[in-house]
Amino acid sequence: ETGVTQTPRHLVMGMTNKKSLKCEQHLGHNAMYWYKQSAKKPLELMFVYNFKEQTENNSVPSRFSPECPNSSHLFLHLHTLQPEDSALYLCASSQSGNPNYGYTFGSGTRLTVV
């Protein structure tokens, strides 16, 4: 347990489905992030939230919709995905202004789009 919990661990969804990924951090951090890791590719930064406000959207398609209701929770809402969206989706958190211990990542959600 890293202090960042992601659910579900695995998800299979059809291209017409709507699903949500959930991330919860118990570390008192004030910044949260979504990353995507496709097979044999580096981690790609998707979204950044600081103090619940989205501060970065790395040209992510609108079929991915983030939500940060409070500094402890982060969601990624998915709809009409494509097979190429299959990947490991990782959530991370950090403390702005005190990054001495870097980012803490969750274990990820392995998403398969069929």
Query: Quick check: 71 binds other proteins (CB under 8 A)?
Result: no
Backbone φ and ψ for 69, nearest 5 degrees, come out as -70, -25
Q: How many C-beta atoms surround the C-beta of residue 65 within 10 A?
A: 15
Whether 89 contacts 111, CB under 8 Å? yes
Number of residues that bind other proteins (CB under 8 A): 26
Residues forming beta bridges with residue 56, ordered by sequence position: 48
Least distance (Å) from other proteins to the CB of residue 38? 12
Which one among 16, 42, 53, 69 touches other proteins, defined by CB under 8 A?
42
Q: Of 14-22, 64-72, 78-86, 103-111, which segment contacts other proteins by CB under 8 A?
A: 103-111
In terms of Cα–Cα distance, which of 76, 90, 92 is closest to 21? 76
What is the contact surface with other proteins in residues (CB under 8 A)?
2, 4, 33, 35, 42-43, 45, 48, 56, 88, 90-92, 96-97, 99-108, 110
